[in-house]
Amino acid sequence: MSEVSPGLGTGRASVGAVLDFAWAAGEFTATDVMAGTSLTRSTAIDAIDTLLGADVLRELPNARAVGDYRSGRPARRFALSPDLGVVVGIDAGDTHLSVTVADVLDQTLVHHRVEVSQAQPASDRRALIIERLRAALDEAGVTRDRVLAVCAGVAAPVDRNGISPPHPDGFWERTNPGLAEALSDWAPVVQIKNDAQLAAIAEGAVGAAIGCRDYVALLASERYGGGVVVDGHVLHGAHGGVGEGVVFDHIIGVGSAVGLPYAVQDTARDAVSAGDVASSSALGQLVAEDRIDPRLVLTLAASGDPDARLVTDRVAAVVARIVGVLGSMYDPARVIVCGAVAESIEPVLAAARSLLPAELHLPAPLILASTLGAEVVSVGAIATARRAARDVSVPQLAEQRLSLRA
């Protein structure tokens, strides 16, 4: 139940129950609230009126006004106000930056994505994130005071205060350049999260893990990283490092945390260098000209090209080992491969599925390709920001509005 502050009066529990109901109800009546919350009619109506007074709910035209009236007194109809504010999701990846502005329900207002340099200093990256945030709000026509929650995903472990631990090469400090402090005054709730954890949230909300309580979202486009969900809870750890991909540097048969596109490229080069793929073949020519597009290799494999199939089968052996390790550690029902690479990775996953049972003693998890594409982290960031708005910012907003009218 949403926490509604004492400023909303003695009926805070009932007001919270009605507010929780309203998020998923769309249009509703007091009778709908009674059925959905077990409140009495008088209590439901009092709570609805309180939220109307705070402009958190709006009253819609009744059934007679919209031509749906038959007999008797038409029921009053309500919905959440469209003017509550907006939420912001940020995906601050290693080589890209996405900023999304959305309403608190289901509409995306603005989405920006730009490529960024891996050599960009932390101070420049922080300034760019603020600049793109301002630009996105300007395009949406939204002032800063209407931002209810911000969630930013970064390619680094993040503790519960939004701080990343030091990295031997400074990578984590660069990808999370003090965002908890830099964004602290942009919204009532600001959360900095690991990108793979946000991918897991996205898959559970609108992706391949809907209804699943045990799964891993494996980000695989740039570097491997896992968002782990066990018994319906996203696992975090003392420093936010559950699922950190550096473990794969130390696993025989994997040897590196670099993502699947790079693995396809490196495996193709190695196959040609070893003479397993003829340099005169289509794939060999791509290698010779240093024009290996992983998507092209995967497309060739899907069409049955034997050289490309050789490459994808070798990559599949690595993927099976990775999924086997995840399966042995966390016992998931599903492992969902996420990121832009997921759109074309099926030839690798098909081969990995046949190899996986030999990689662990537990029943093998189902390996799936995400359907959320390159924006999976953005989707998770928006879902997280919306939940924060629902649980914290909107109840606070209601209290403030009622206090001003008292």
Backbone angle region of 383, left / alpha / beta, with phi > 0 → left and psi within -120 to 50 → alpha: alpha
Instruction: Compare 149 and 405 and report the one with higher pLDDT.
Output: 149
Instruction: Compare 346 and 67 and report the one with higher pLDDT.
Output: 346
d(CA 145, CA 64): 38
Identity of the highest mean pLDDT range in 52-56, 228-232, 398-402:
228-232
What pLDDT, on the 0 to 100 scale, is given for residue 6?
39
What pLDDT, on the 0 to 100 scale, is given for residue 66?
53
pLDDT of 378 strictly over 70: yes
What pLDDT, on the 0 to 100 scale, is given for residue 96?
93
Single pTM value for the model? 0.91
pLDDT of 304 strictly over 50: yes
Instruction: Compare 158 and 10 and report the one with higher pLDDT.
Output: 158
What pLDDT, on the 0 to 100 scale, is given for residue 10?
43
- Please name the residues in contact with 139: beta carbons below 8 A apart, sequence gap of 6 or more: 101, 110, 112
Question: CATH 1.10.10.10: which residues of the chain?
Answer: 6-83
Q: Model confidence over 151-179: pLDDT tens digits?
A: 999 999 999 999 999 998 889 999 999 99
pLDDT of 126 strictly over 60: yes
Q: What is the mean pLDDT of the chain?
A: 91
Listing DSSP states for 249-273 in one string gives: GGSTTT---B-HHHHHHHHHHHHHH
pLDDT bin (cut points 50, 70, 90) of residue 324 is: very high
Q: What is the mean pLDDT of residues 87-92?
A: 98
pLDDT of 297 strictly over 50: yes
Q: Model confidence over 29-58: pLDDT tens digits?
A: 999 999 999 899 999 999 999 999 999 999
d(CA 259, CA 221): 5
Name residue 268's amino acid.
A
Q: Model confidence over 201-210: pLDDT tens digits?
A: 999 999 999 9
The number of beta carbons lying within 10 Å of the beta carbon of residue 399 is 19
What pLDDT, on the 0 to 100 scale, is given for residue 119?
86
pLDDT of 315 strictly over 80: yes
Q: Model confidence over 330-354: pLDDT tens digits?
A: 999 999 999 999 999 999 999 999 9
d(CA 50, CA 406): 12
pLDDT of 7 strictly over 80: no
pLDDT bin (cut points 50, 70, 90) of residue 16 is: confident
Question: CATH 3.30.420.40: which residues of the chain?
Answer: 86-194, 215-371
Q: Given the structure tokens 């504010």, which residue do they identify?
A: 85
**Of the CATH numbers 3.30.420.40, 3.90.650.10, 3.20.20.70, 3.40.50.720, which one belongs to the domain with range 86-194?**
3.30.420.40
pLDDT of 405 strictly over 80: no
CATH number of 6-83: 1.10.10.10
pLDDT bin (cut points 50, 70, 90) of residue 136 is: very high
Name residue 31's amino acid.
T
H-run or E-run covering 311: helix 306-330
Instruction: Compare 314 and 402 and report the one with higher pLDDT.
Output: 314
Q: Given the structure tokens 């990108």, which residue do they identify?
A: 195
CATH number of 215-371: 3.30.420.40
